[in-house]
Each structure stands twice: as C-alpha cells, then as structure tokens.
Amino acid sequence: MHEEEQVEVRTVGRGARVTRYGFGAAPIGNLYTAISDEQAAEAVDAAWTGGVRYFDTAPHYGLGLSERRLGAALRSRPRESYTLSTKVGRLLVPSSGGGRDDQGFDVQATHRRVWDFSRDGVRRSLEESLSRLGHDFVDVVLLHDPDDHWAEAVGEAYPALAELRDQGVIKAIGAGMNQWEMLGDFVKETDLDLVLLAGRYTLLDQSGAHGLLPLCEERGVSVVAAGVFNSGLLATEDATGTYNYGPAPHALVERARRVAAVCRRHGVSLPQAALAFPLRHPAVTSVLVGARSAEEVARNAALTAAPVPEALWADLTEESLIDPEPRR
C-alpha cells in the first residue's frame, strides 16, 4: 500500500483513528540491541508507506529514546493524519549512577524509572512525553503495567486521564498490560476506550478470550492485541524463539510446531497466521506489531497482505489448537 491509497481505519474513543495494524515503537528504543537513529527513522517511514497510521510508544522504552525517535520520524507528517499513543505510570528521573539500563534496553542508564500513578504523576509524565516527542498533543494515553498499583491507578491516574479526555486534550484513554484479569477489572469499573492486551490473545495463549474480550465487546471497549508472536516463538516458521521473554517450555514449542504444520498444509506460514489470528475476534480493533528496521516492517507487511484461508482456522479448531471461532 502506498501513501496515496486509502488507509483502512477504525475509530476509538472520541476520534482516535487506528489502522488494523499499528507500529509498536519499543524496538526503536533499542530493545535488546542498539540501532541507529537512521535505522529507526527508516522503520517508521516504511510503516507509513505500508499504510500504518497508528503509532504506540512509552517513556519506559529505552528511557525515552523511543519517544524521541518516533516523534522525530513523524514530525514532518500532517499531524491529523495519524494517531499517536504513549503511556503513563513510570516517571523518568535523572540518575548519576552510570552503567547500562537493566530492563532490556541497550541504552545508557541516564535515568531511572519511578512508578507513579498519582494524578500529578500522570500530568507530569504526559508533559515530559510531549517534550520528548516534540508534539503538542498525543491522541491516546494508556496506563502502563499497573499490576502492583491498582488502587492508585484506578483512584488517581484514571480520573486524571478521564478529565483530560473530557477537556478534549486527548481523544482516548486505556490501559496496557501483559495480563487480562486486571484489564477486565478496569473495563468493569471505569470508562476506558481501549485496552492493550499483550500476549494473552495469540495462537498459543487465548486466555484473554475467556474473561476479557467478551466483556470488552459487551461494553464497547476496543481491544488492541500486542505481543502476537509471544516475544518470538511464533515469529519464525521453525518455532525456535523465546516465549514471554524467556526460554520457551518444551510443551509450548511442540504445540507451536503442531500449529505450524497445520499452517503449512494451507500454504500459510506460522508468523503469517500469528498476525492474522487476533483480528478474527470482533472485539479486536487493531494488532500492534513492533519492528526495528525497514526490512522487518516490509516482512510483516507482506505477511499481513497475504490471504489466510478460513479452512486453516477450522482445522486448528478441530485439532484443539485454538478455541472455536468467536461469534461475530
């Protein structure tokens, strides 16, 4: 897809428009290994050329590096033509300790992360994100990993975001987590526009489908599916990657290879099926895919463009490798 072609979008919240596939910017924050500013910009440019108009980042990613790189890469684009999302919950505080970051990003530890879901913390975090991005506003703000901070997140951070949404400062609010249970609590007890569910609605883990996705469908809350490769195991045809950022258990490797074998019978690769699977559920609005290079973006774009026959899902269901198809 080229820039002049029509881009398929869906509306979330009060006017935030997201494409079926979004760009996850953690990798351009030097996730695991460093890349250059030029490589990061090329990855964003490739996503744009491929029709992506939804870009997600966070202060956590590379201690602000992801926000700086993403903001710079998008700055020349018409601001109303894309949706920009960031997160709150971790403040970046200058640190003089030196050394390297110890949370998965190949960057200097110039700052340390401080959990803060207070009202003031949310506003400070957003202001600092806008400064790093070099933008006047973001469209979507998410509570980021509030697993151990429920009371403060629901009692202070959520009302602060809801107020900003009511004022028209932001268009949509939500929460992003690697678990579905607390996201379900947010959906029940607040008025979120979306949830970002990482790794819990994939070819290997459909746990989010049982408690969260039907609830979101009932409440009109959009679901953005992330981590669809489960951190690597579904990203290659031979299923040799990591699972949830650690060594993959043998039983899951074997299950992934069984899924891959069924896919091959239908002329579909394992990563192609992993990218297509979440959008089958009526609650899922978009799939967020991380990439660190133009080559990775092009590879993923080719996979999402290739058709996946319905018979594949039927066979995977028959062999009890995925849950039955959800009702549309």
Active site residues: 61
Q: Which residues pair with 112 in a beta bridge?
A: 93
Compute and round to an integer the Cα radius of gyration of the chain: 19
Q: What are phi and psi of 55, to 5 degrees?
A: -130, 130
Provide the pairing of β-strand 222-226 with 194-198.
Answer: parallel
Q: What are phi and psi of 108, to 5 degrees?
A: -70, 140
Q: Are 82 and 36 in contact (CB under 8 A)?
A: no
d(CA 225, CA 229): 11
d(CA 228, CA 173): 22
Distance of CA 50 to the CA centre of its chain: 18
